[in-house]
Structure 1
Amino acid sequence: MPQRNHRAAIVGTGGIATAHARAIAASGGRTTLVAVADVDLDRAKAFAQTWDVTRAYAGLGELLREEQVDVVHLCTPPKLHAPQAVECLRAGVTALVEKPPTLSLAEFDTLIEAERGSSAYVATVLQHRFGAGALRLRRLADAGELGRPLLATCLTQWYRDEEYYAVPWRGTWQSEGGGPTMGHGIHQFDLLLSVLGPWREVTAVAARQARPVDTEDVSMALVTFENGAVATVVNSVVSPRQTSELRFDYERATVEVEHLYGYTDDDWTITPAPGQEDVAELWAQGRSTVPSGHEGWLCAVLDALDRGEKPPVTAEDARRTMEFIAALYASAFTGERIRSGQITADSPFARSMEGTGAPWEKVRNP
């Protein structure tokens, strides 16, 4: 497969931008960071100096006018993702968008429409799909080596204090779109969905337990899948012992991973069912020391672009995950079980993840 050098820019030079710059630097010359932008031009210039980039701009528009770039890594606050991605697509530039990609399903559908009218693509950064353990699990599951999926658990139990939420755009529906369900747990349950496939129904609760925010700080969901599997999903920012865990119980084995912000093969374990010890041998094949992270995701993006294909995760892939989030909030705030496809364009939960309003807001403002 012929490879070319992709000219890249990073917009938003806060903390997560460093992971993107490292991934670009580790690409082996397949992509080059040629420009950066930030509303704080001094911060953009400092970031550019750190990564040996000659040009820094105060905004995306100026960057797109002045530079010839192939891809833009959007590392800005969530409320900017959709309008900036649309701006990139209209300029014929592929947008690689940090999570959450939009604040709502309605916003996400504007991205899909913009992509259809563009020569470029939009892709969401959901890097845990691309670690060696996740790739191996999907390969074995798809080949039927593990038997039927029966049960799964998905935990994102993190800790974010009040200082974390002192950043103005955090913890609000208007600028972040939601709480840990949107901004933290999305990595884990996106991996869950990528393994178990289409979900069918969601029953959920959400609560504001401890943080001075508008959104939830805890959510829990029971999920059924089209293949018959059932799962529990927990998202939290109030858990002092932090962990990110996934467990899949198949007919022939239990497969588990426990980590925090990224995993290696050492974080995965497999427990064969009695008499199914050959599954462990299959799992041991092709072990890797490469961690999950932006490097593996970016490599997959570049592979797809070199083939002239949509980069992973596609807009359609990400929309299924966003629909799951909307369904979780809809169930939590209405007390109803929500089916896949139930949240149509006229639903308040399509226009905003807050939908009809969080229960704690109704108590405060009867």
Structure 2
Amino acid sequence: MAERHRAAYRALRDDVELVAAADVDEARAVAFCAATEHAKPYRDLETLLAEQEPDLVSVCTPPGLHVEQTKMALERGAWVWCEKPPCRSLAEYDEVVAAERDGGPYVSFVYQQRSGAAAAHFRNLLAMGKLGRPLVAHCQTTWYRDAGYYAVPWRGRWATEGGGPAMGHGIHQMDLLLHLLAGDGKQAGEWAEVQAMSARLVHDVETEDVSTALVRFESGALATVVNSVLSPDEVSRIRIDCELATVELTHLYGYVAENWRYTLAPHNAQVETAPVRDFGSSHTAALKPVLDAYRARRRPPCGGADGRRVLEFVAALYKAAFTGQRVRRGEIRPGDAFYRSMAGVDAA
């Protein structure tokens, strides 16, 4: 992830300068900085913040460290661009947001699948009524991870990763689905309730390795969600059936406009299905609005309530799977075990 962040900074080199990097593995920090123009390596974030006083900090560490490191940067006055998942629970998310200040510093989380031009184009078509109402949707993240992947000590554990593929893999596609459908008027609105199942079928881990969910949106639209790390034929897919068109996005880790397929209803007028200017989903595309928000001293996208939406959905998915109950948006609040941990227990 740090390499992807560095590539994004390099692509926007006219706006940013990479000044330092920290890693507990000193050799890795030195090697990372050697590939930059003059960044200085550090063994810990606290020393880096004290000496460099950066404007923006990328957090590319395991999820269990996100809260501590993000709060440390915010307290030093630095904005934060933090990798997914944001943290391990809604309680941790609210703790981070509470450390922000009006006008900044703010934290933005990396949901880069929102960033492609084709996603914005779909939202525009939907808002203008050219696709009709969303009715049925499917969100699929079916990837493959072997035992070697879970040999990394922090993976597959509630206390350090915060969850399984729903948390660490499918969160990108689920965030994109919720982003595409959120809004008033012609959109489906926010998700309203979820029913779910999860299982640990292959891997010797604490968390699940597959989950499925049924979702109802405020408009009444329905969706299915599948997250898996058991699938040799890897794919990321979103399909949305609207009144006037079916729209399908099929890719793996990123997309461009040609990965989107529009099938118009026979009676639908011709719709321009490609954005005027295409750019793919990427860390670079996701970073630019963060920098724009920094200059304007306003909250960036994928932070605050906007960044919390998908994390609340994931918490509801886990609660529904573990309790067998239907879970409604807004019901997981302080005092609820699933507010403190995606497993419904203290993440200690």
TM-score (structure 2 length as normaliser)? 0.95
For 2:116, the equivalent position in structure 1 comes to 131
The answer on whether the counterparts of 2:18 and 2:39 sit within 8 Å (CA) in structure 1 is: no
* Corresponding position of 1:360: none
1:158–1:238: 8 Å Cα contact kept in structure 2? yes
SS in 1 for 2:19: strand
Question: 4+ runs of 1 displaced by more than 6 Å?
Answer: none
CA distance in 1, matches of 2:172, 2:293: 21
Alignment match, 1:295: 284
Contact map agreement 2:140 2:235 (CA 8 A) in 1: yes
Q: Secondary structure at the match of 2:226?
A: strand
Partner of residue 294 from structure 2, selected from 275, 285, 305? 305
Q: 2:72 aligns with which of 62, 79, 87?
A: 87
Match of 1:156 in 2: 141
Aligned to 2:83: 98
Secondary structure class of the residue paired with 1:258: strand
1:145 corresponds to 2:133: no
Q: Distance in 2 between matches of 1:342 and 1:240?
A: 36
CA distance in 2, matches of 1:108, 1:307: 24
Identify the match of residue 56 of structure 1 among 38, 41, 47. 41
- Does structure 2 retain, via aligned residues, the 8 Å contact 1:219–1:236? yes
- CA deviations on 1:157-183 (whole Å, 9 max, x unpaired) are 000000000000000000000000000
| Residue 340, structure 1, aligned to residue 329, structure 2 | yes
1:169 matched to 2:158: no
The equivalent residue for 1:24 is 9
Question: CA separation in 2, counterparts of 1:25 and 1:257?
Answer: 28
Q: Secondary structure at the match of 1:110?
A: helix
- 1:28-58 Cα deviation digits (max 9, x unpaired): 4111111100011110000100123331100
Partner of 1:223: 215
* 1: CA distance, partners of 2:327 / 2:116: 31
Tell me, in whole angstroms, the C-alpha distance in 2 between the residues paired with 1:180 and 1:37. 28
How many Å apart are 1:119 and its aligned residue?
3.3
How many Å apart are 1:243 and its aligned residue?
0.2
Per-residue CA distance 1:166-214 (angstroms, 9 max, x = gap): 0000000000000000000000000000011211000000000101110
1-side partners of 2:195 and 2:40: how far apart? 49
Amino acid at match of 2:200: R
Q: Which residue of 1 aligns with 2:235?
A: 243
Q: CA deviation at 1:310?
A: 1.2
Write the letter of the residue equivalent to 1:24.
Y
Deviation string, structure 1 residues 72-102 (Cα, Å, up to 9, x no partner): 0000010001111111111111011100111
Contact preservation (8 Å) 2:257, 2:275: no
Identify the residue that residue 3 of structure 1 maps to in structure 2. Answer: none
Q: What is the one-letter code of the residue matched to 2:137?
A: A
- Unpaired runs of at least 5, structure 1: 1-15, 358-366
Gaps of 5+ in 2: 183-189
Q: Which amino acid aligns with 1:314?
A: G
Query: Residues of 2 paired with 1:109 and 1:143: CA distance?
Result: 34
Deviation of residue 277 (structure 1)?
Answer: 4.1
Alignment of 1:197-216 (within 5 A): 197=182, 198-216=190-208
CA drift at 1:252: 0.7
Q: Does 1:353 align with 2:338?
A: no
Q: TM-score, normalised by structure 1?
A: 0.90
Distance 1:227 1:121 in 2: 32
2:67, 2:4 → 1: CA distance?
A: 21
Distance in 2 separating the partners of 1:54 and 1:23: 15
Q: Which has the higher contact order (CA 8 A, sep 6+)?
A: 2
The equivalent of 2:187 in structure 1 is none
Q: State the superposition RMSD in angstroms.
A: 1.3
| Matched residue, 2:252 | 260
Name the SS for the 1:92 alignment partner.
Answer: coil
